[in-house]
Amino acid sequence: MKKKETLGQVLKQRRGAYAYTQRELAKKLGVKASHIAYLENGRRRPSLSLLSRISDTLELDKKRLFLLAHPEAQWIIGERAETSPNKRREDAWRKFAGDRGMLARHKVTARELKVLKNVNMLGRVSAPNQFLFILNAIRQAVEEEE
């Protein structure tokens, strides 16, 4: 089982990659070294302005840092903490196959739906609109052969 990544782990790892001591990083960020220690040990959460400075100083993605500091906000910005590829694939298929209006608009036959269901089992389709792309490619290939 994969251990959940924390803000403290990311900060400590990245600080080490830059060979900064806690004191050196603190000076660059305008905080006390003890504050860096608290952040790395998960005993404090940085303010948004400090998160921004950390991101700029250590060249880390702001959104990733924000979500590590505030995992409870993931539902607000439409992110799931750990969406597995299998779950995304199942969701994409369910959304595609369940959209009767879209299936009718694109004249997807029962036979084509069965083929696309098998394509889904390959595990590479992660969004409903990708099924339409695949279907159109199959249709085009079949037309060219006829």
pLDDT in tens, the chain (146 residues): 556 889 999 999 999 999 999 999 999 999 999 999 999 999 999 999 999 999 999 999 998 999 899 888 877 776 554 455 556 667 788 888 888 988 998 899 999 988 888 888 776 677 787 888 888 888 888 776 66
Q: Rounded distance, CA 124 to CA 89, Å?
A: 7
Per the domain annotation, does 80 fall within a domain?
Answer: no
Residues 63, 90 share a domain: no
Per the domain annotation, does 13 fall within a domain?
Answer: yes
Q: Rounded distance, CA 68 to CA 139, Å?
A: 44
Residues 68, 89 share a domain: no
Residues 6+ apart with CB under 8 A from 86: 123
Residues 94, 56 share a domain: no
The structural domain count of the chain equals 2
Map tokens 């305008």 to a residue.
30
Residues 132, 107 share a domain: yes
Residues 60, 97 share a domain: no
Per the domain annotation, does 1 fall within a domain?
Answer: no
Residues 69, 95 share a domain: no
Per the domain annotation, does 79 fall within a domain?
Answer: no
Domain of 36? 7-73
**CATH of residue 43:** 1.10.260.40
